[in-house]
Amino acid sequence: MRYPPFLWLCLVLHLTMLNGQEADSLLQAHRDLLQADAHRILRPYQLGHFYQALDSLQAGQKKNVVIAHVGDSHIQADYLPRTLRQYFWQRFGCGGRGLVFPYALADTHGPLDYAWSSPDKWQFRRRTFQRGGPDIGLTGMGLRAENTSVSLDFAFAKKQDMPFDELILFGNADTQWQVQVTSSAQPPALPARWQYHTVQSGENLYGIGRRYGESVQQLLRWNQLSSPLIYPEQQLRVGQLDRLPATALEMQPVAETASSVYQAQLAAPTSRMRLLGESPQQPELYGVILRHRRQSGILYHMIGVNGTTYYHYHRSTTFWEQMRVVQPDLVVVTLGTNEALQNSFQPRQIEPEVRGFLRKLQDVIPGGRILLMTNPDAGHRDGRLRTKPRQMRDLLLRLAREEGVAVYDVYAVMGGAGSIYSWRQAQLAYRDFIHFTEKGYIFQGALVFEALMQAYDKHD
């Protein structure tokens, strides 16, 4: 069978990142750990829309099938979503990298197959109750620049280039975004853009302004100073060395949606870019979707934030507004662990947040498009069992049944209470007895994909 050139890239990336047949080998090596009768999708008929979308994709009637994976620290490192993403690419084709975000600028870790850089300073938010900064958006995080003009460079990691020719950016309404396509062979240096002056003892803004031909008001604005007070060794912006490149493509607001969503279609595929933002206030960024519109296949968006619960996503207005724009064909939910680890765990307090989250999701994307993964087992370092993971899992099963949501019961598949210790002995769980090793997450991803495809192959 001959594959289009871009699909070959997807298959090569799949083999590179999963180390050949590693996931399949893990399935064969560790099935004895599993509770076999639990390894299935509960209420698979609730995924009818998703399975019909896959049928349409294979029949050439649909360009992309979009999957959004929402969760906590179990998915932020991308091992579990990456495994699912690459299995889907292998079977159904690759429509592009999907959602990406500058995790390093939010002072946290993220996927390893791409990187962002920026010379600007950013405020960030990673949880709803965090004080200050922007709201959390589609990625479960948000960035707000401290400057009125910003520059960000994006590139894939070595040997993992994935060309894209369309991007959708989620930001704030008063920022004008432009994208500059850059060469893979000659990566650009970060733009200087500003001329700086180091304040010497005895200098003031008036004298510095006269030296560079700028007013005190301009220096205050450029440096976001609330008063003319300055101090020795302070770095001040005193002039602009360059403007936005003439070759930059202006991003346009997406028609009939929120003005905070911008889109650009490139003349040719690229694997790196520079984003340039100008705003009378402060530019905000919530994520960028990278798509290859010439290629049919799966777009898989990873939305994971360490420490999050159902509460965090449920209470974010911006998250739901942007999810409505994305309109995924399937949402995979991996939440519940952090609730189960709370000392003040109270099911009656958690239930409204879980039910509210599921109902909002059904309102935003109706038609049976949710797969809820229960929280896994967790233990103490001294070998004592935790009882709350079982209670949280039982709550999720009940609410999923009442709300008509499909489920993959990770807790039961693992083997129930105490199974985390067997997984640790098999080097699939981390030594905190809460998280999993990379192999453990790959194993889980392979299991979930296997269960999904078993149900898909049987659907009418």
What CATH number does residue 107 fall under? 2.60.120.260
The CATH number that applies at residue 222 is 3.10.350.10
pLDDT tens readout for residues 328-343: 999 999 999 999 999 8
pLDDT tens readout for residues 373-427: 999 999 999 989 999 999 999 999 999 999 999 999 999 999 999 999 999 999 9
pLDDT tens readout for residues 294-331: 899 999 999 999 999 999 999 999 999 999 999 999 99
Question: Is residue 442 located within the same domain as residue 322?
Answer: yes
pLDDT of res. 196 = 80
| Banded pLDDT at 288 (limits 50, 70, 90) | very high
| Stretch 114-143: mean pLDDT | 85
pLDDT of res. 7 = 43
pLDDT of res. 6 = 43
- Name all contacts of 429-434 with Cβ < 8 Å and 24+ positions apart: 431/381, 432/381, 433/378, 433/379, 433/380, 433/381, 434/337, 434/341, 434/378, 434/379
| Banded pLDDT at 130 (limits 50, 70, 90) | low
| Stretch 47-61: mean pLDDT | 96
Domain count, the chain: 3
- Size of the chain in residues: 460
Mean pLDDT over all residues of the chain?
88
The CATH number that applies at residue 80 is 3.40.50.1110
pLDDT of res. 128 = 61
Question: Is residue 431 located within the same domain as residue 329?
Answer: yes
pLDDT of res. 338 = 96
Question: Is residue 372 located within the same domain as residue 423?
Answer: yes
pLDDT of res. 258 = 66
pLDDT tens readout for residues 58-77: 999 999 999 999 999 999 99
Residue 367 has pLDDT above 60, yes or no: yes
| Banded pLDDT at 183 (limits 50, 70, 90) | low
Question: Is residue 308 located within the same domain as residue 403?
Answer: yes
Residue 197 has pLDDT above 90, yes or no: no
Question: Is residue 333 located within the same domain as residue 440?
Answer: yes
Q: What percent of the chain has pLDDT over 70?
A: 89
Question: Is residue 27 located within the same domain as residue 149?
Answer: no
Domain range for 268 is: 97-193+242-293
Question: Is residue 353 located within the same domain as residue 449?
Answer: yes
Question: Is residue 282 located within the same domain as residue 138?
Answer: yes
